[in-house]
């Protein structure tokens, strides 16, 4: 058993016990050689520790030894403990004179949105360096007690530090098939409960921490229903959207990297995705399966648009009937009949195509649905009525240039009447005549779907002026 005032390794005098859990003790100590304050972390064999705990301890020492960063503790020493009252391993690191976010929260300190954003930006910068290291390093235990905050100066929130690499995981280790479930409940992403780890796992933990700073509510309570409530967040819509993104249960739906998350935080226009429209509007259903997604748009409630399509259908049928009567009369004239025999075939073919498109849109908008889903490198778009497919298009993702969307407008089609043009979005293809248009939509639906597709497919999103259908 180790205790304060004890000297170990003939060099480190243990001063204060900082934390304790089965098999592990952390002391604030004095380095008798340099007279500086240090942190000594000890792993003791007498507590029945597991082999996985030993590997984690060794991995922490290796990360501190070979990864140098001003915002994390610096490696000093490591050695075996062979005392009469304690056997195990010890690692020594620099002591950072700062206060943890947990202590700040417990003391009643609150943080402004600007301060919280500064904290998030500094942590994302640290995570970027960790995740881009060779091999990539995942912390796996980001929470307020492992984040230190130095004294503030001026308008700065102070220097942010990340400590306690006792749960650290390298991507190389996961590829070798070693999975260790570790972390802190509430801050852990869902995949971490099954031993899986991604760089985006740290982004989830960071998002949970930021959410706690904003709301004052522990993540275990805030995220228990799996759905964040906007009224709990007294912050900008941009920051809220950012939190929604990093707290996605599916790791593939978060930011791909800490750098991307940092850019989105600093430039909110990079983070316009808003999935609340898919949760609150029964017309839209969005589901995920690994890296693929499926979006269903139910048009059966679009009565206004159905009536418009119905009017177009009736007009088209009436036009065809009148045209057929005229053609039938002209065919009895010998000279004209020979010429019209060829023309009629062409015109009827064109009219049939127009009729098919009109009737197709009518039935689709009145009782149908449109599905969009990704399968590998392809994006499938299918319109169906009563489970019967009436149109299907397949785009190669690489061939899609941009996703364009437009708000609904009322425009003067004729002097005496106005025409309502609903919101829509278009997948513009590099191949001529291959673009796909999805309509009718509400303004919010068009914007949300366009941003979602842009994010999923990594394709630019543009808002354009409405044009007539």
Report yes or no: 188 and 139 within 8 Å, Cβ to Cβ.
no
The token pair that represents 71 in the structure block: 């915002």
The token pair that represents 417 in the structure block: 């009447």
Closest residue by Cα to residue 279 from 233, 244, 231: 244
Q: At what angle do helices 258-266 and 113-131 cross, to 10 degrees?
A: 150
d(CA 157, CA 12): 33
- Cα dihedral 380/386/387/389 (nearest 10): -50
Active-site annotation holds for 141: yes
Active-site residue (options: 141, 202, 274, 298) = 141
Length of the chain: 469
Beta bridge partner(s), residue 89: 43, 80
Q: How many CB atoms lie within 10 A of CB 81?
A: 17
Sign of CA dihedral 274, 191, 211, 257: negative
Q: How far is CA 309 from the centre of its chain?
A: 37
d(CA 84, CA 82): 7
Which residues are the active-site residues?
A: 141
């Amino acid at each position: 058993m180790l205790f304060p005032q004890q000297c170990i390794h003939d060099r480190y005098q243990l001063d204060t016990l900082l934390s304790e859990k089965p098999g592990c003790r952390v002391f604030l100590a004095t380095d008798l050689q340099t007279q500086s304050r240090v942190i000594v972390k000890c792993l003791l064999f007498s507590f029945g520790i597991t082999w996985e705990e030993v590997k984690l301890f060794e991995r922490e020492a290796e990360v501190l030894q070979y990864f140098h960063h001003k915002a994390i503790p610096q490696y000093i020493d490591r050695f075996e403990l062979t005392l009469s009252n304690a056997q195990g391993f010890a690692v020594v690191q620099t002591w950072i004179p700062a206060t943890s976010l947990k202590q700040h929260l417990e003391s009643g300190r609150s943080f402004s949105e600007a301060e919280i954003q500064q904290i998030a930006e500094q942590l994302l910068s640290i995570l970027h360096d960790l995740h881009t290291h060779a091999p990539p390093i995942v912390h796996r235990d980001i929470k307020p007690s492992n984040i230190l905050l130095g004294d503030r100066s001026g308008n700065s929130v102070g220097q942010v530090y990340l400590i306690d690499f006792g749960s650290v995981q390298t991507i190389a280790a996961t590829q070798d098939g070693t999975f260790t479930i570790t972390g802190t409940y509430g801050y852990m992403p869902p995949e971490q409960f099954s031993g899986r780890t991604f760089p985006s796992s740290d982004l989830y933990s960071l998002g949970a921490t930021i959410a706690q700073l904003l709301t004052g509510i522990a993540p275990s309570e805030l995220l228990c229903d799996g759905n964040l409530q906007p009224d709990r967040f007294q912050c900008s819509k941009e920051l809220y959207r950012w939190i929604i993104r990093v707290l996605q249960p599916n790791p593939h739906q978060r930011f791909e990297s800490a750098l991307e998350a940092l850019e989105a935080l600093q430039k909110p226009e990079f983070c316009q995705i808003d999935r609340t429209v898919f949760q609150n509007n029964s017309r839209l259903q969005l589901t995920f399966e690994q890296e693929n997604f499926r979006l269903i748009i139910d048009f059966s409630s679009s009565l206004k648009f159905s009536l418009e399509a119905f009017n177009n259908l009736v007009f088209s049928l009436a036009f065809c009937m009148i045209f057929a009567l005229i053609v039938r009369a002209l065919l009895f004239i010998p000279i004209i009949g020979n010429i019209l025999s060829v023309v009629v075939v062409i015109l009827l073919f064109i009219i049939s195509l127009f009729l098919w498109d009109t009737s197709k849109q009518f039935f689709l908008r009145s009782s149908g649905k449109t599905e969009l889903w990704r399968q590998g490198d392809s994006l499938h778009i299918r319109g169906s009525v009563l489970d019967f497919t009436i149109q299907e298009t397949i785009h190669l993702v690489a061939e899609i240039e941009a996703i364009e969307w437009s708000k609904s407008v009322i425009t003067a089609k004729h002097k005496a009447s106005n025409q309502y043009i609903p919101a829509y979005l278009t997948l513009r293809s590099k191949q001529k005549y291959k673009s796909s248009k999805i309509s009718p939509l509400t303004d919010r639906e068009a914007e949300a779907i366009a941003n979602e597709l842009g994010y999923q497919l990594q394709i630019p999103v543009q808002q354009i002026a409405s044009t007539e259908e």
